[in-house]
C-alpha cells in the first residue's frame, strides 16, 4: 500500500500546546474521519498539513517527500523548494466557511487556480471547471456569483474548486458545520462520490453517522492527542476510552 501521508507534529499557540506529538499515517485511498470536542486540535492538525499553520516540532511527509521538518528531529527536507511546492499542490482543502472568491462566478472560482498556478489556457480551464462543476451537480450555476448561492451550493463549488487542481489528497475542515441542517446532505453526498472514486481523504467532522458510513478509520482527538484510532465499527460500538463514550453520548 502506498503511503500518502506520514507525520509527527508538535504545535504551540503561544504557551498553549495544541498538538502534543500527534503521529498519523494515511495510505492511498484511505478515508480518515477526525472527530473530537472543539478545541481538541483537529482543525489545527489539518491546517498544519497544508502549511496554513507552521509546525513547531516534527515533520510532514506527503507521497514520500518530506515537505516540512522543524525542531529537534532526525528528518530533513531533501527535496527542492520547487518539489515541495508541487507536492503541496497534490493536496486540496475545503474549509468550514467555504472561502469562495466573492468577486468571481462559480466558474471563475474553479478556473482560477488552473490558470494562475498550473498555467493552463483559459479555454482548457473552462473545460476543467465545467467538468468539476458538473461533478458536484452545479453546472447550471456556473455563471452565478457566490452571493447568489446557498451554503450547500457554495461548499460544492469549493469542492469543485479544489478538485480542479487534480489533487491526490483532499482535506475537509468541518465541511458541513456552517450549513443549515437541510443543506448538509448535498455536500455529504458529493464527498461520498469522491469516496467511491477512492480519493484519499481526511475529514474533520461532527457528523457521526457520516463518519461511521464513509470512513475507513476514525480518529478521536482530545486535548491535542489522538486518543483512539480504529475502524468505525469498533470505534462507535466499543470505544476503549471513557472520554470517547461521554463524547459519543453527547453527540447522539
Partner 1 sequence: MMDHMEYILNILPFILSGLKLTAKIYVATLVIALPLGLLAAIGKVSGSQFIKKVLFLYTWIWRGTPLLLQLFFMFYGLPVIGIRLSPFAAATITYALNYGAYLTEIFRGGIESIDKGQYEAAKALGMSYAQTMRRIIIPQTVRRVLPTTCSEAVNLVKDTALLAVLGMPDLLRIATQIFTRDFNITPFVVAFVLYLIISSVLVKLFGKLEKMYSIYE
Q: Which residues bind partner 1 (CB under 8 A)?
A: 50-52, 85, 88-89, 91-93, 95, 97, 99-104, 112-113, 116-117, 145-147, 158, 161-162, 165
In the complex with partner 1, the residue whose CB is nearer, 47 or 217, is 47
Least separation in angstroms between CB 163 and partner 1? 11
Least separation in angstroms between CB 126 and partner 1? 17
Least separation in angstroms between CB 102 and partner 1? 6
d(CA 17, CA 4): 26
Q: In DSSP terms, which residues pair with 85 in a beta bridge?
A: none
Give just the sign of the alpha carbon dihedral 161, 167, 171, 174.
positive
In the complex with partner 1, the residue whose CB is nearer, 32 or 111, is 111
Q: Where are any strands of DSSP class E within the chain?
A: 3-13, 16-27, 31-35, 57-62, 65-70, 91-94, 169-173, 200-204, 217-222, 225-230
What's the gap between Cα 32 and its chain centre?
Answer: 10
Do strands 31-35 and 217-222 pair parallel, antiparallel, or not at all (unpaired)? Answer: parallel
d(CA 27, CA 12): 27
In the complex with partner 1, the residue whose CB is nearer, 118 or 127, is 118
Least separation in angstroms between CB 209 and partner 1? 27
Least separation in angstroms between CB 234 and partner 1? 32
In the complex with partner 1, the residue whose CB is nearer, 52 or 248, is 52
d(CA 76, CA 171): 24
In the complex with partner 1, the residue whose CB is nearer, 146 or 224, is 146
Q: In DSSP terms, which residues pair with 32 in a beta bridge?
A: 202, 217
Report the candidate in 104, 98, 206, 188 with the shortest Cα–Cα distance to residue 150: 98
Least separation in angstroms between CB 97 and partner 1? 5
In the complex with partner 1, the residue whose CB is nearer, 48 or 218, is 48
Amino acid at each position: 500500500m502506498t503511503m500518502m501521508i506520514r507525520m509527527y507534529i508538535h504545535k504551540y499557540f503561544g504557551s498553549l500546546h495544541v498538538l502534543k506529538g500527534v503521529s498519523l499515517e494515511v495510505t492511498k485511498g484511505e478515508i480518515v474521519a477526525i472527530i473530537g470536542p472543539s478545541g481538541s486540535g483537529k482543525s489545527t492538525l489539518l491546517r498544519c498539513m497544508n502549511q496554513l499553520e507552521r509546525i513547531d516540532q516534527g515533520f510532514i511527509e506527503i507521497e514520500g517527500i518530506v515537505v516540512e521538518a522543524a525542531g529537534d528531529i532526525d528528518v530533513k527536507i531533501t527535496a527542492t523548494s520547487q518539489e515541495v511546492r508541487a507536492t503541496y499542490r497534490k493536496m486540496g482543502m475545503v474549509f468550514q466557511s467555504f472561502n469562495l472568491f466573492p468577486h468571481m462566478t462559480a466558474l471563475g472560482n474553479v478556473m482560477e487556480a488552473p490558470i494562475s498556478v498550473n498555467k493552463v489556457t483559459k479555454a482548457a480551464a473552462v473545460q476543467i471547471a465545467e467538468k468539476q462543476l458538473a461533478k458536484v451537480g452545479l453546472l447550471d450555476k456556473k455563471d452565478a456569483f457566490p452571493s447568489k448561492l446557498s451554503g450547500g451550493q457554495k461548499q460544492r463549488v469549493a469542492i469543485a474548486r479544489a478538485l480542479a487542481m487534480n489533487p491526490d489528497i483532499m482535506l475537509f475542515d468541518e465541511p458541513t458545520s456552517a450549513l443549515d441542517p437541510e443543506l448538509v446532505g448535498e455536500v455529504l453526498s458529493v464527498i461520498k462520490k469522491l469516496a467511491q472514486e477512492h480519493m484519499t481523504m481526511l475529514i474533520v467532522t461532527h457528523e457521526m453517522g457520516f463518519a461511521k458510513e464513509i470512513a475507513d478509520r476514525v480518529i478521536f482527538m482530545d486535548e491535542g492527542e489522538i486518543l483512539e484510532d480504529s475502524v468505525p465499527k469498533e470505534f462507535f460500538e466499543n470505544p476503549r476510552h471513557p472520554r470517547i463514550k461521554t463524547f459519543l453520548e453527547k453527540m447522539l
